[in-house]
Amino acid sequence: MITSKTIALGIAKGVGIMVLAALGLYFLYQIQAVLIYLVVAFILTLIGNPILDFFKRRLKFNHLAATIATLGIFLLMIFGILLMFVPLIADQGNNLSLLNTAEIEKNLLELLNKIALFLESHNINSDSLFKEADLSSKLNFSFIPNLFNAIISTISSFGIGVVSVLFITFFFLKDRVAFIVSAKQLIPDAQEEKILNSLDKIYTLLSRYFIGLLIQLSIVFLLYLIVLLIFGVQNAVVIAFLCAVLNIIPYIGPLIASVIAAILTMLGNLGSDFQTQMLPLTIYVMVGFWIVQLIDNNVTSPLIFSKSVSSHPLEIFLIVLIVGYLFGIIGMIIAIPLYTILKVFGKEFYPENKIIQLLTKDI
């Protein structure tokens, strides 16, 4: 029989659960930096495992020496990136006057004026076009100082982040067997074999995926760099690197990269004639970028990702599209790893399901 006491206890229990959940979410929000360190360290561990195994199997290093050597490679990569990009970014900052909001506005307005003159020369009413777009009210540069302060803050904490991530990665690589042994004690005996098999497959597939992603970004970076160097674009390395990183966002990232490359190309050539020099150069760069994206979309990405996560290219495209519609850009970035995890667990726990059999036949 339901009494008022039972109802009151149920309400109190529900409120208690909600309060605990809210406190848990608040706690996670407060330690979000630590969570990011853990995620980055986990990704580095997935990338580093094949390297560690290479040192152990091919070069006969012991486990500790192989772990240290793997971290040494990561450190060299980080140091190389910093050595290459810090001077270039500083130079880019001087060229674009990142600290001078008025100068940025002046450059962009000068670019708009050149575009307006070009349109007028082709009998297109630029005044009505720009008036309808209301560009003057939308060009708000007050965010520049705040953005710069955020960048400075990020750089100042970069050292702490790198040390923390590498420290965590070291123990993830060094004690991975111990972690598995500890996990066994927490897993119910009835499900132990299935869960451990799933985790092993996930570990292997995600390692291949992130290594494939690294290879893809490197290839795209080199191709973008070649395009920019061919046409003599200023600060080609920085622009190529930025546009390559944007390729992490499937399908949308390359489009954003093309727009950024076009804008930076025009801003870097403000002193030239718009119709005879600036516009043709920008078109050439964008055509070059589109060719790179065509190669990446039809050759590099399908070859790397379909092999690394054992999924058909059309399957990957549809998953990224669906998750992107549901959760936006973040969803597009995590779609492939998340889908791979779900496929592995599906195959291990529901092997008789016809749909799962069809989707996981290559795993």
Buried b (16+ CB within 10 A) or exposed e, 83-111: eeeeeebeebeeebebeeeeebeebbeeb
pLDDT tens by residue, 274-321: 777 778 888 888 899 999 988 887 777 777 777 777 777 778 888 888
Q: What is the pLDDT of residue 224?
A: 92
pLDDT tens by residue, 153-181: 555 555 677 788 888 889 888 887 777 77
Q: What is the pLDDT of residue 144?
A: 46
Q: Is 62 exposed, middle or buried (0-12, 13-18, 19+ CB in 10 A)?
A: exposed
Question: What 3-state DSSP class applies to 58?
Answer: coil
**pTM exceeds 0.75, yes or no:** no
R_g over Cα of the chain: 26
pLDDT tens by residue, 102-146: 555 666 677 777 777 777 666 666 555 555 445 444 455 454 445
Highest average pLDDT, of 17-26, 102-111, 177-186, comes from 17-26
pLDDT tens by residue, 212-235: 888 888 899 999 999 999 988 877
pLDDT tens by residue, 45-67: 888 888 888 888 888 888 889 99
Residue 25 structure tokens: 């979410």
Q: What are phi and psi of 362, to 5 degrees?
A: -95, 0
